[in-house]
Amino acid sequence: MLAATLSSAEKVTIQVGGMSCGGCAATVKSALKGIDGVSDAQVSYEQGQAVVTYDSTKTTPEAIARAVELRLPGYKLAVGGGPVPATESTKACARPGTVSAALIERSQVDPQRVTFYEVGLVCGAAPKIGCGSRSKPVLLSLISDRRVAGAWLNEAGTRVAIGWKSSHDILAPEQLDQLFAGHGVSIHPVAADARAELLASFQSSGGWFDAASVDRLSEQEARTIAARLVKRLAARTTISAEQDSTLRKAIEQACRKRFIDGEDGDLETQFLAVAK
């Protein structure tokens, strides 16, 4: 039995689009290892790929890729060494975008010309909020379209609102999907009975972010990661209150530089340097 299992174990490289940080890589790794037939997975944000060990009698590389996309809407996976369509924009997600188009307030958009869509832009490292670095290039891309008056992401990273300049400008879902696909993101129109509640939220005082304000989600993500890592360290060794504060600030700054300023570098290496 063991010999049969070993002989059926194979490795495959799967390109992953839609990651913007190490937290995203950890999320993809967890999803991969939860698939029946997968015994190991190593995911690299920097390389934009996963090396997966799997049992060829139980699953296939294509099935693994599709299973992850179903579990993690917003990520695009492609089997083999070739890039996924969003490879170039994947790392662009971690670089600062320039808000060159004029932004408008939500209150300036005609409610009848606002459409809502389900998206997978949740932060892998802080699942209660949207990923600022992944969503910013998406929002910038939308507002650069001549038909779009404005675009916003909800705080949870699960819905995008698009305000159109006229009712004739509203694109069909398949047309929008082509725009989003360049960023490794899939979209789906929300159910008709969900529109009223979403519109009420959209017209409220907060909870929606445009390309200029979405960095606040990245700041929140950085704080969450810093707090989590320092808490784990404190559980293993004794650190003073001063060390706790210093570590949190240093890790948060490293995360901010990656998520908002777009600085390259291995976050894990930076964290280890901080810990020393």
Domain CATH code at residue 86: 3.30.70.100
User: What's the rounded mean pLDDT across residues 232-242?
Assistant: 92
- Same-domain check for residues 225 and 265: yes
In a domain, 1, yes or no: no
**Based on the structure, what is the number of domains in the chain?**
3
pLDDT for 206: 85
In a domain, 45, yes or no: yes
* Domain carrying residue 253: 217-275
Q: Is the pLDDT of residue 81 over 70?
A: no
- Same-domain check for residues 207 and 134: yes
- Same-domain check for residues 209 and 230: no
- Same-domain check for residues 267 and 203: no
pLDDT tier at 55 (50, 70, 90 boundaries)? very high
Interior/surface letters 118-127, b for 16+ CB within 10 angstroms, e for the rest: bbbbbbbbbe
- Same-domain check for residues 197 and 229: no
Least confident of 37-41, 43-47, 126-130, 192-196: 43-47
- Same-domain check for residues 75 and 127: no
In a domain, 204, yes or no: yes
- Same-domain check for residues 67 and 151: no
In a domain, 269, yes or no: yes
Mean pLDDT score across all residues of the chain: 82
pLDDT tier at 24 (50, 70, 90 boundaries)? confident
pLDDT tier at 23 (50, 70, 90 boundaries)? low
- Same-domain check for residues 118 and 205: yes
In a domain, 99, yes or no: no
- Written as one string, the DSSP assignment of 183-246 is TT--EEEPPGGGHHHHHHHHTSSSSEE-TTTTHHHHHHHHHHHHHHHHHHHHHHS---HHHHHH
Q: Is the pLDDT of residue 200 over 80?
A: yes
- Same-domain check for residues 205 and 232: no
Q: Alpha-carbon distance 179 to 234, whole Å? A: 45
In a domain, 98, yes or no: no
What's phi and psi for 231, nearest 5 deg?
-65, -40
Domain end, chosen from 92, 123, 142, is at 92
| pTM of the predicted structure, to 2 decimals | 0.64
pLDDT for 268: 53
Domain end, chosen from 213, 230, 248, is at 213
Residue 165: burial class (beta carbons within 10 Å; 0-12, 13-18, 19+): middle
pLDDT digits (tens, 9 = 90+) for 134-163: 898 889 889 888 899 999 999 999 999 999
Three-state DSSP class for residue 113 = helix
Least confident of 209-213, 228-232, 262-266: 262-266
Among residues of the chain, what percentage have pLDDT more than 70? 81
Q: Alpha-carbon distance 178 to 185, whole Å? A: 10
Which contacts qualify for 27-35: CB closer than 8 Å, 24 or more apart?
27/72, 27/124, 27/125, 28/68, 28/72, 28/75, 28/124, 31/67, 31/68, 31/71, 31/72, 32/64, 32/68, 34/71, 35/59, 35/64, 35/67, 35/68
pLDDT for 71: 76
- Same-domain check for residues 111 and 179: yes
- State in Å, rounded, how far the first CA of the chain is from the last one: 46
- Same-domain check for residues 150 and 242: no
In a domain, 101, yes or no: no
Domain end, chosen from 169, 197, 213, is at 213
Among residues of the chain, what percentage have pLDDT more than 90? 47
The candidate with the shortest Cα–Cα distance to 91, out of 7, 44, 36, 21, is 21
- Same-domain check for residues 227 and 161: no
